[in-house]
């Protein structure tokens, strides 16, 4: 059957459904195509399930520490993995159903189930349906990168998607990749009771962060018994009677780690290889990301790419912001651009890392005169009261303009408290304005004015 719409949206991720809402409300007929799970990565295999599991892991961790707070549990703390998974499935499933039923109920929106492939500019095939539209919006997201490492085809490995189906505890989980996705699973499974080893090729964890952040995260994980193997060269796999042998030529330590399960967490790749983009004249970069301009228009007229597939963000909030940018430009006459966005994100280990703007390394490389402030969480009252004093907060600002360039809060409540700095950066106010604020006591945020009042000059790197 051949159908036509004013607009076609491929993928029901974080940008597609709200865009469908805006376009239909503006009177357009919209076709939305989803090949699998409504809500995409965040709802089904990313943020929502992982943060739900992390909450269970946190409960187990606090229960084990109960006596430190004067609370007795009366026996060994147990984790019932089937119940943990059921809780996750309910929360994630409810979110998925909400997205799906919202789209089904949406006036002027036709939902197509199946895999979309371009057949010509602004025309796709989905099963028996050929669907054309005046405008096309691509929101196809990404998936776990499965590396071509020696022996990988001879062993069973997990990704962020398949690990979410486990309802039993691995004896020993080997996490290949010591970055954002890998570390959240590593700490979570350690807290569920598994032995966990993180294998990372780089000399430090989350190498995109400043060195002191990487070191503090390493400490947090090692303190909980997560084994970390850095500088792991030539990672390879071999089946063995005892499980999966993960070979690594590290500078020191055993050359093989024996795991019962292996999670691959070495990065993501965009879902653009099976869209036949060439039929529509849509360019991709060498890594497969769709090339877009500052307003997310692709190289093909009237085709936009939003979310992870355009390589301009890798988060739910950046995908949603892509929707806001496209909608503002198309419907509101409001010229919003991707380059206006200040990068911000969190890493949800516990305590979490909240991050905004530049790292100190990036700020120093920019060659500007800088002011830097740093405060350990051991000097934050709320952290002491909660018994969670790991980590530190830091901020970096331009010494001349007094504009904040970046900040990190690795510590309890860091994912929330960082928003004080993010808001100031979005408002483009000098950091001195925050020093006059009267924050609520006792909070982590109340130390932000103190942190900023204690900024010291540091040399830019030549």
Ligand X SMILES: Cc1cc2nc3c(=O)[nH]c(=O)nc-3n(C[C@H](O)[C@H](O)[C@H](O)COP(=O)(O)OP(=O)(O)OC[C@H]3O[C@@H](n4cnc5c(N)ncnc54)[C@H](O)[C@@H]3O)c2cc1C
Chain residues 187-216 in contact with ligand X, contact rule CB under 6 A? none
Tokens 């892991």 identify what position? 57
Per CB under 6 A, the segment of 36-44, 146-154, 205-213, 404-412 that binds ligand X is 36-44
For position 289 contacting ligand X by CB under 6 A, the verdict is: no
Shortest spacing between CB 10 and ligand X, in angstroms? 5
Of 270 and 373, CB closest to ligand X? 270
12 belongs to the binding site for ligand X (CB under 6 A): yes
Candidates 9-17, 166-174, 249-257, 324-332; binding stretch for ligand X (CB under 6 A): 9-17
Q: Which is nearer to ligand X, 50 or 360 (CB)?
A: 50
Beta bridge partners of 256: 247
Nearest to 282 by CA among 316, 313, 310, 308: 310
141 in contact with ligand X (CB under 6 A): yes
Q: Give the interface segment with ligand X, choosing from 56-64, 195-203, 242-250, 311-319 (CB under 6 A).
A: 311-319
Site string for ligand X, 324-353 (x = CB under 6 A): ------------------------x-----
Bridge partners of 408, per DSSP, are 355, 394
Smallest distance, Å, CB 39 to ligand X?
A: 7
183 in contact with ligand X (CB under 6 A): no
- Give catalytic status of residue 441 as yes or no: yes
| 23 vs 47 by CB, closer to ligand X | 47
Q: Is residue 314 at the binding interface for ligand X, with CB under 6 A as the rule?
A: yes
Give the residue with the Cβ less far from ligand X, 29 or 45.
45
Query: What's the CA gap between 82 and 12, in Å, rounded?
Result: 29
- Between the alpha carbon of residue 107 and those of residues 2, 22, 31, the distances in Å are 20, 11, 11
Residues 152-181 that bind ligand X (CB under 6 A): 160, 181
State in angstroms the smallest separation of the CB of 453 from ligand X. Answer: 31
> Which residue from 5, 96, 115, 172 is in contact with ligand X, where contact means CB under 6 A?
115
Q: Are residues 247 and 237 in contact, defined by beta-carbon separation less than 8 angstroms? A: yes
Residue listed under structure tokens 């469908």: 20
The minimum distance between CB 371 and ligand X, in angstroms, equals 29
- We find the least distance from the C-beta atom of residue 50 to ligand X, in angstroms, to be 5
Check residue 307 for interaction with ligand X (CB under 6 A): yes
Nearer to ligand X, 141 or 259 (CB): 141
| Least distance in angstroms from the C-beta of 319 to ligand X | 4
355 touches ligand X (CB under 6 A): no
What's the rounded Cα separation, in Å, for the pair 387 and 202? 32
Catalytic option among 5, 115, 261, 441: 441
Residue at token pair 């000399």: 203
The CB-of-402 to ligand X minimum distance in angstroms stands at 30
Within 243-272, which residues bind ligand X (CB under 6 A)? 271
φ/ψ of residue 366, rounded to 5: -70, -15
Closest CB to ligand X among residues 33, 444: 33
Task: Tell me the window of 68-76, 92-100, 134-142, 391-399 that interacts with ligand X (CB under 6 A).
Answer: 134-142
Residue 419 as a binder of ligand X (CB under 6 A): the answer is no
CB of 304 to ligand X, least distance (A): 13
Among positions 205, 275, 358, 434, the unique one binding ligand X when judged by CB under 6 A: 275
List the catalytic residues: 441
Binding site residues, ligand X, CB under 6 A: 10-15, 33-37, 40-42, 46-47, 50-51, 115-116, 139-142, 160, 181, 271, 275, 307-308, 314-317, 319, 348
């Amino acid at each position: 059957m051949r159908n036509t719409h004013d607009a076609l949206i491929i993928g029901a991720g974080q940008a597609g459904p709200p865009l469908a809402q805006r376009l239909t409300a503006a009177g357009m007929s919209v076709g939305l195509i989803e090949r699998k799970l409504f809500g995409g990565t965040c709802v089904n295999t990313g943020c929502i399930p992982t943060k739900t599991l992390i909450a269970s892991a946190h409960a187990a961790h606090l229960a084990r520490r109960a006596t430190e707070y004067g609370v007795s549990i009366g026996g060994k703390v147990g984790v019932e993995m089937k119940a943990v998974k059921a809780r996750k499935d309910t929360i994630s499933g409810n979110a998925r159903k909400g997205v799906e039923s919202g789209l089904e109920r949406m006036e002027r929106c036709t939902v197509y189930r199946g895999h979309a492939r371009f057949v010509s500019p602004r025309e796709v095939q989905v099963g028996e349906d050929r669907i054309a539209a005046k405008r096309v919006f691509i929101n196809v997201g990404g998936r776990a990168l499965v590396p071509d490492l020696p022996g990988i085809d001879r062993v069973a490995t997990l990704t962020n998607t398949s690990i979410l189906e486990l309802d039993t505890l691995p004896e020993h989980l080997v996490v290949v990749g010591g970055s954002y996705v890998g570390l959240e699973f590593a700490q979570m499974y350690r807290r569920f009771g598994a032995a966990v080893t993180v294998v990372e090729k780089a000399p430090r964890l989350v190498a995109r962060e400043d060195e002191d952040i990487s070191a503090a995260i390493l400490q947090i994980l090692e303190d909980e018994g997560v084994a970390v193997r850095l500088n792991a060269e030539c990672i390879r796999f071999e089946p063995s009677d005892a499980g999966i042998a993960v070979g690594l030529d590290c500078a020191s330590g055993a050359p093989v780690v024996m795991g019962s399960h292996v999670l691959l967490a070495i990065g993501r790749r965009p879902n653009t290889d099976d869209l036949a983009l060439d039929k529509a004249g849509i360019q991709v970069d060498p890594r497969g990301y769709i090339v877009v301009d500052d307003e997310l228009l692709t190289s093909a007229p009237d085709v936009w790419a939003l979310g992870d597939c355009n390589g301009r963000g890798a988060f739910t909030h950046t995908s949603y912001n892509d929707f806001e940018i496209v909608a503002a430009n198309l419907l509101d006459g409001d010229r919003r651009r991707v380059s206006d966005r200040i990068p911000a994100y969190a890493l949800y280990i516990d305590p979490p890392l909240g991050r905004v703007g530049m790292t100190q390394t990036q700020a120093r490389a920019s060659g500007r005169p800088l002011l830097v402030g740093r405060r350990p969480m051991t000097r934050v009252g709320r952290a002491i009261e909660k018994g969670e004093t790991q980590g530190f907060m830091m901020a970096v600002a331009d010494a001349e303009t007094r504009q904040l360039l970046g900040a990190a809060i690795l510590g309890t409540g860091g994912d929330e408290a960082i928003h004080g700095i993010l808001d100031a950066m979005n408002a483009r106010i000098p950091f001195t304005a925050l020093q006059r604020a009267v924050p609520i006591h006792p909070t982590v945020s109340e130390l932000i004015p103190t942190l900023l009042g204690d900024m010291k000059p540091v040399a830019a790197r030549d």
